[in-house]
A and B are shown apart, each in its own frame.
Chain A
Amino acid sequence: MRQRARQSRSPLAPELFRRLRSWEGLLLGVLAVIVVVTAAAVPGYLHPQNQINLLELSIEKAIVALALSFVIVSGEIDLSIASVMGLAAVLVAWLRQQGVPVEVGIVAALAAGTLCGLFNGYWVAIVGLPSLAVTLAGLIGYRGVALLLVEDRSIGGFPDWFNRLGQQPLVGPFPLALIVFAALVVIATVLLQFSGFGRYVYVVGSSREVARFSGVRVPRVKMAVFAMSGLTAAFAGVLLAARLGAVRGSTAEGFELDIITMVLLGGVSIFGGSGSMAGVILSILVILNLRNGLALANATGNTQAGVIGALLILSVLVPNLIAAARARAVRSARVEAGRRSLPSAK
């Protein structure tokens, strides 16, 4: 595992050093570089309001990334998240148009999102279909329902309190979504890193067989992570509706790729079993700060997407290349060891 960097030979090497050489340490370094370079190049970047803006503009995606991390660590994928976001947003708006109060609409949207998640989970965990196929169907199907409900129209006219929650600062300069995100960061970290459930998720992701023989109820864990994913996506969809103040059938379309990028760049293995919440959080900050820096410098949306795409490719490629290089190095070191007394530490 990546985090298990080879212990340094020096007995004095502190824990901190090992941490800094991990993926998380690396992201922290990248983040620092981005912050320093952007702060130097773009005036106003460090202004607190800009820092809030850059989070707020993508906060719904960041929230879903936290829940998606559980799915990916468990060795599965959920491609339907953005469609669930769209469906939830549409449900609130559509129900309101039918005369249902927004409060009830929100509950219905959250319930629908959870159901979507459980539906995905059923086919994956109980029936045993690959999650890629199941949630791809979800991506199309849930979006289809959203489009059926509102067709191509834009529905707005939410009550003031709903729009205010989405658009105005709630506490100090912080809007509701940011406060929620902060709370969810804590909850997700505790749940994945420090709870029994989190350990199950890792075990299930590492090896389904091992998990089963060691008494972990694999289907239950998988159902749970998909339900969490659905519920969180629906919640984020409602937040998005409040921030935008209007909803379309295509709301949140294409968000899944950005969200998956956040998780994978965070060092969560697409094959499951490894990664950490700290990595995902850092990766969210890296992406949002990079995006913001590029946007403030008037780089086009395509340029931003290209840069982040390149970052993702490197994040997948580099560890594999290094692992391959290291395997070669180990082999040649063994050969060399016959001639030299000690291989170099570096």
Chain B
Amino acid sequence: MRIQHGAALSLLAISALVIAACGGPAAAPSATVSATASATQAASPSAAGVAKATPGQSVKMMLLPKFLGILPFTQANKGATEAEAELKNGTTHAFVGPTADNSVQGQIEFMTNASTQGYKVVMISNNAGDQIAPAAQAAQAAGVKIVAWDSPIPSAKGESLFVAQVDFNETGKVMADMAINLMGAGGGKFAILSASPDAANQNAWIKALNDALKDPKYAKLQLVDTVYGNDQSEKSYTQAQALVAKYPDLKVIMAPTTVGIAAAAKAMQDGKLCDKVKVSGLGLPSEMVSYTLNGCAPQFALWSFVDLGYLTYYASYLLATGAIKGADGEQFEAGRMGTFKITKDPTRSDGLRVLMGPFKLYDKNNVEAEAK
């Protein structure tokens, strides 16, 4: 009878592992092959010193967003998949991530397991601040290249390269400009609704906005608070409501996160507050179109996450195949997007950056076309 006990539990354990094994990467054995094998086939830099990729090599890559389940990251994966097809990478990349409520722990876990799993590159949108650095450094020591995109490792420890969507200092100015556009010359009070307190990109943008506000041009803008919705719609929604309750004369909620801006716009719409409080920040046209047309969020900005995923994939592939080393001044070609240059990151003292850009501003004139 005891045996039945065991049989039931073992059965479950086995089935769990079988599921796991089936879902796992099929090319696992090849993962143990050293990276140097592919590095020797490095593409020869072309005449102008612009590195070009040699398609058809097999590089096991992981695309690790802050968490799964929101549109921008799905779009980034679309771009990565597009680049993968062009580069004819023999190993399909994994698009994996934690849940939003377990983002920090989850990202550390993925990073820690990456070398065991035989990944050659982890492409990460970091949501764990410098908490990811020890795991990233350990992965690097084991031969994994760490390419950050969207959100870097603040100290750059354990990071080879950061593919920046836009210039982070410019983000501050763009947000300040949008705030003044919405408030008019008279200015007034506004608050920031951010994602999570460990998101390096968010923190850099908030700092950049604070720096931008020192410009006399924005003297009448008064930043009264910064709150966090953790990129969860519900929490962002209640945080937006709380801001309005706390600051009755608040004029703008600035949310540099696609989850936050949509939740805040919905909160203002539901509370019939859109005449008083405008929402702005970084948003996806498809998610914002109704709020832009009804005046709750008349103006916002973003860049293409598809392009960001595409460019990140190219840079990572080039790095892993040895075509670029990840050094200041190197140039490389990224398919349809053209040539890019690696430079020192002006917003992080020890980081290297590839700058994508540009910002695109959306309002009622162009949001519908983009939302399709």
**What residues of chain A have their CB less than 8 Å away from a CB belonging to chain B?**
5, 21-23, 25-26, 29-30, 33-34, 37-38, 41-45, 47, 49-50, 53, 56-57, 152-154, 156, 163, 167-168, 243-246, 248, 253-254, 286, 290, 292-303, 307, 310-311, 314-315, 318-319, 322, 325-326
A246 touches B130 (CB 8 A): yes
Please tell me which one of the listed residues A41, A163, A168, A301 contacts residue B24 in the complex, with CB atoms under 8 A apart. Answer: A41
Q: Identify 13 new A-B residue pairs, CB closer than 8 A, beyond the known A21-B3, A41-B24, A253-B101.
A: A29-B9, A34-B13, A37-B14, A42-B20, A42-B28, A43-B31, A44-B117, A248-B197, A254-B102, A294-B20, A298-B23, A307-B12, A322-B4
Residues of chain B in range 226-240 having any CB-CB distance to chain A below 8 Å: 227-228
Asked whether any CB of chain A lies closer than 8 Å to the CB of B5, the reply is: yes
Q: Hey, which chain B residues are within 8 Å of A153, CB to CB?
A: 197
Asked whether any CB of chain A lies closer than 8 Å to the CB of B134, the reply is: yes
Chain B, Cβ-Cβ closest to A23: B5
B2 touches A244 (CB 8 A): no
CB distance from A236 to the nearest CB of B (A): 14
Please tell me which one of the listed residues A30, A292, A296 contacts residue B10 in the complex, with CB atoms under 8 A apart. Answer: A30
Asked whether any CB of chain A lies closer than 8 Å to the CB of B37, the reply is: no
Please tell me which one of the listed residues B6, B24, B134, B198 contacts residue A297 in the complex, with CB atoms under 8 A apart. Answer: B24
Lowest 7 A-B CB distances belong to which pairs?
A: A297-B24, A297-B20, A41-B21, A21-B2, A154-B197, A167-B134, A44-B116
A selection of 25 A-B contacts at a CB cut-off of 8 Å is A5-B2, A23-B5, A25-B2, A26-B5, A26-B6, A33-B13, A33-B14, A41-B20, A42-B24, A43-B29, A44-B32, A56-B112, A57-B105, A156-B130, A244-B108, A245-B133, A246-B131, A253-B101, A292-B113, A296-B20, A296-B117, A297-B23, A297-B24, A307-B19, A314-B8
CA distance A133 to B123 in the complex (A): 45
Residues of chain B in range 12-43 having any CB-CB distance to chain A below 8 Å: 12-14, 16-21, 23-25, 28-29, 31-32
Chain A, Cβ-Cβ closest to B131: A244
A311 touches B117 (CB 8 A): no
Q: Hey, which chain B residues are within 8 Å of A56, CB to CB?
A: 112
Binds A, one of B92-100, B165-173, B299-307, B350-358: B92-100
Q: Hey, which chain A residues are within 8 Å of B117, CB to CB?
A: 42, 44, 296, 298
Q: Hey, which chain A residues are within 8 Å of B19, CB to CB?
A: 299, 303, 307
CA distance A299 to B302 in the complex (A): 32
Residues of chain B in range 81-119 having any CB-CB distance to chain A below 8 Å: 94, 96, 98-99, 101-102, 104-106, 108-110, 112-113, 116-118
B9 touches A30 (CB 8 A): yes
CA distance A41 to B16 in the complex (A): 12
CA distance A47 to B113 in the complex (A): 11
Given contacts A154-B129, A244-B104, A318-B5, contact A44 B197 (CB under 8 A): no
B130 touches A245 (CB 8 A): yes
Residues of chain B in range 130-167 having any CB-CB distance to chain A below 8 Å: 130-131, 133-134
A57 touches B112 (CB 8 A): yes
Q: What class of interface size applies to chain B in its complex with A?
A: 35 or more
Chain B, Cβ-Cβ closest to A47: B116
CA distance A50 to B114 in the complex (A): 10
Please tell me which one of the listed residues B13, B104, B110 contacts residue A37 in the complex, with CB atoms under 8 A apart. Answer: B13
Q: Hey, which chain A residues are within 8 Å of B94, CB to CB?
A: 298
Given contacts A57-B109, A299-B23, contact A294 B16 (CB under 8 A): yes
CA distance A53 to B116 in the complex (A): 10
A293 touches B116 (CB 8 A): no
Chain B, Cβ-Cβ closest to A22: B2
CB distance from B216 to the nearest CB of A (A): 29
Q: Hey, which chain B residues are within 8 Å of A326, CB to CB?
A: 1
Given contacts A154-B129, A245-B130, A302-B99, contact A29 B10 (CB under 8 A): yes
Q: Hey, which chain A residues are within 8 Å of B28, CB to CB?
A: 42-43
CA distance A49 to B100 in the complex (A): 28
Q: Hey, which chain A residues are within 8 Å of B12, CB to CB?
A: 307, 310-311, 314
CA distance A154 to B196 in the complex (A): 9
A301 touches B106 (CB 8 A): yes
Q: Hey, which chain B residues are within 8 Å of A294, CB to CB?
A: 16-17, 20
Q: Hey, which chain A residues are within 8 Å of B133, CB to CB?
A: 245
CA distance A108 to B311 in the complex (A): 49
Asked whether any CB of chain A lies closer than 8 Å to the CB of B180, the reply is: no
Asked whether any CB of chain A lies closer than 8 Å to the CB of B223, the reply is: no
Given contacts A26-B6, A296-B113, contact A246 B129 (CB under 8 A): yes
Q: Hey, which chain A residues are within 8 Å of B108, CB to CB?
A: 57, 244
Residues of chain B in range 252-281 having any CB-CB distance to chain A below 8 Å: none
CB distance from A164 to the nearest CB of B (A): 9
Q: Hey, which chain A residues are within 8 Å of B116, CB to CB?
A: 44-45, 47, 49-50, 53, 296
Chain A, Cβ-Cβ closest to B133: A245
CA distance A56 to B48 in the complex (A): 48
Given contacts A246-B130, A318-B9, contact A42 B112 (CB under 8 A): no
Asked whether any CB of chain A lies closer than 8 Å to the CB of B68, the reply is: yes
B13 touches A30 (CB 8 A): yes
B6 touches A30 (CB 8 A): yes
CB distance from A325 to the nearest CB of B (A): 8
CB distance from B228 to the nearest CB of A (A): 4
CA distance A326 to B116 in the complex (A): 45
Please tell me which one of the listed residues A47, A243, A293 contacts residue B17 in the complex, with CB atoms under 8 A apart. Answer: A293
Q: Hey, which chain B residues are within 8 Å of A253, CB to CB?
A: 101
Please tell me which one of the listed residues B21, B106, B112, B198 contacts residue A246 in the complex, with CB atoms under 8 A apart. Answer: B198
CB distance from B8 to the nearest CB of A (A): 5
Given contacts A245-B130, A245-B134, contact A26 B2 (CB under 8 A): yes
Q: Hey, which chain A residues are within 8 Å of B197, CB to CB?
A: 152-154, 248
Q: Hey, which chain A residues are within 8 Å of B32, CB to CB?
A: 43-44
Q: Hey, which chain A residues are within 8 Å of B25, CB to CB?
A: 298
CB distance from A327 to the nearest CB of B (A): 12
